[in-house]
Amino acid sequence: MAQHADGGDSDMGDNLERLNANLAKMEELSKRMVAALGQKDLTADAGMSGPGQELYVKAGSALFNEMLTNPTKLMGHQVAYWSKAVENFIETQQALAAGQFEMPEDDDAPKDKRFANPMWRTHPYFRFVRKQYELNSQAIEQSMAELEGLDEKEKSRVEFFSRQIIDLFAPTNYLATNPDALQKAIDTDGQSLVDGLENLVRDIEANKGELLPTLSDPNAFKVGQNIGTAEGKVVFRNRMMEVIQYAPKTDTVYRTPLVIFPPWINKFYIMDLKPQNSLIRWIVEQGYTLFVVSWVNPDASYAEVGLEDYIEEGYLEAVRVAKEITGEKQVNAVGYCIAGTTLSATLALLQKRGDKSIKSATFFTTLTDFSDQGEFTVFLQDDFVDAIERQVTEKGILDSFFMSKTMSFLRSNDLVYGPAVRSYMMGEAPPAFDLLYWNGDSTNLPGRMVKQYLRQLCQGNELAGDGFKILGETVSIRDIKLPVCSVGTKTDHIAPWKNCYRGFSQFGSRDKTFIMSESGHIAGIINPPSKKKYGHFLNPKVKGTADEWLEGAEFHEGSWWPVWEEWLQRRSGAQVSAREPGESGYEILGDAPGTYVLATTKG
């Protein structure tokens, strides 16, 4: 007995010591958090954080008008809501009064991964909280869906921001109503909460007073060492870009070189994360001389850089370099996302100039007709764009943090609240996930370019409309005449495939091929044949609407890469001896992935 008592005293002493250490740690972390919150830029434009007051006034007026004109419908909704809420309360009260702490499985519960823990369906307290949240969510969604007196864009914005409120107040986001977090706190004697606070402070410090969860272990990857490792050399550099020529993997290559223009909203190594899913490696292995542009990560000195600079010092220079190095008169080009949009303007410009330097062009998830702005409609109205203009006029750039936050809140449960729960309440370290690491390695955008893109292309829809004025010409997607291929992705929320198709179908080219890949903006493109994961749809006729195209399309298992490569092969000429970087006389400036890609926006 004495021995048992001694053990108990020892355990209590250890627990007390651990508790005191954790309390000291929390006090230290709290001081750090206060200091980190003090770094927040209080001069930031409030208009970039939410819609203007006009939207709230219109929504409130519409709701008030509906109350006056159709009170019966409103009362019906209220009665139905309170009936279900009271029923939920009584059911829980009866279970607790009977000492019943495990209720029958709630089979009607929606399949929501946030509520995977069985306690959300069987424990009286958590079941009550979950069902009440679902009732509240349904009531809000129904009210917004039936709201009249708003135009389509206003209604979509009200629904979007209502969904943000619904997601924010999910019971999983709060310690007192999250059974997983509470259980882990008990199991770890509170250590998970200490670790969570440390993670929270780390993120606030990293984002200078702002809060956005870290999605991937920042120390797990290093560009050029375990991601972005395809063999190549930087063969050209100017203030806008580095051009990387990749080393050949075949004895002979197709005569016509390929130049890829990645988006400058993110970094190019999304196409070269790991060897097994590297599009860059795969293209080289198929026998192409490949050049990839790595864009500069701009600072405030780039404030006056516009789309004309990206075209003149980026696209046209990269094409010139590839032609000179290979001795060819033409190249094939690829543009991804915003780089595809700008490639379309470049092609139209070259057509106006009678310049045939580009033989064919491929577009990955590219929008050129912005008449339907998809999920970005909520951010492309004047209140937001006015605020962005004020910000870039003052700062010279659109800070990468704003873009990261905007993209994250389009999928808030997956990219904000879910990671926040795991990191701050469960105390988990962020995973070592290369795709999420890349997602967090974002870039700034030059002020002038941002204004042009938002005002002239997105809001003004000039490329698909009356024409976009650039470098002395007025250009349109209808000016494009060369062979073109476009790849849209089925579940893309950034560039919906139907919107990609709509603009692409207006190109003036007679030779048009459209491919629709399964999955989204990234996974649908970075879809290597070896994985045999996502299939694709093909229809040789690019005519009619997107729905009509899909109705006549045939589904094929596996990656679209080989289909596209066959298309590219027919436009790439005969085989010639492989070209090694540096042999043309161009000075080698360094190894791939170069220096521009390493520039960070944090620090």
Catalytic residues: 337
Q: Single out the residue of 131, 126, 110 nearest to residue 176, CA to CA.
A: 126
Report the alpha-carbon distance of residue 222 to residue 215 in Å, rounded. 16
377 within 8 A of 419, measured Cβ to Cβ: no
- Rounded to whole angstroms, the Cα distance separating 67 from 60 reads 11
* Strands of the sheet with 536-538, listed across from one edge: 554-556, 536-538, 512-517, 484-489, 358-364, 331-336, 258-261, 290-295, 241-246, 232-237, 590-591
> Closest Cα partner for 446 from 353, 313, 538?
313
Nearest to 37 by CA among 194, 201, 213, 214: 201
Q: Which amino acid is at 393?
A: T
Burial class (CB in 10 A: 0-12, 13-18, 19+), 99: exposed
Cα 287 from Cα 290, distance rounded (Å): 9
SS3 at position 558: coil
Distance between CA 564 and CA 572 in Å, rounded?
12
For the CA atoms of the chain, what is the radius of gyration? Answer: 28
What DSSP element (H or E) covers 70? none
Taking the C-alpha atoms of residue 134 and residue 129, their distance in angstroms, rounded to an integer, is: 9
